[in-house]
Amino acid sequence: MIRLLPLLAPFALSGCAALAALDRASAPQDVHELRAPAEVPTGRATGLELTIEPFATGGAIDTESILVRPGPTQVAYLPEARWSAPAPEMLRTAMVETALRTGAFTHVGRAPLGASGDLALVATLLDFGAVVAPGGEAATVEMTLVARLVRERDAAVVSSRTFRRSVPVPDTSAQEILDGYSTASDAVLAELARWLLDRAR
Q: What is the pLDDT of residues 81-129, one digit of tens each?
A: 999 999 999 999 999 999 999 999 999 999 988 777 899 999 999 999 9
Q: Is residue 17 part of a domain?
A: no
Distance in angstroms (rounded) separating the CA atoms of residues 108 and 92 = 12
Contact predicate 9/158, CB 8 Å = no
Separation of alpha carbons 36 and 40, rounded Å: 8
CATH number at residue 97: 3.40.50.10610
Give 141-175 pLDDT, tens digit per residue.
Answer: 999 999 999 999 999 999 999 999 999 999 999 99
CA dist 54 and 84 (Å) reads: 16
Q: Which residue has the higher pLDDT, 21 or 176?
A: 176
The residue segments making up the domain with residue 93 are 46-199
The domain tally of the chain equals 1
Report pTM: 0.85
- Whether 27 is covered by a domain: the verdict is no
Q: Are 129 and 113 in contact (CB under 8 A)?
A: no
SS3 184: helix
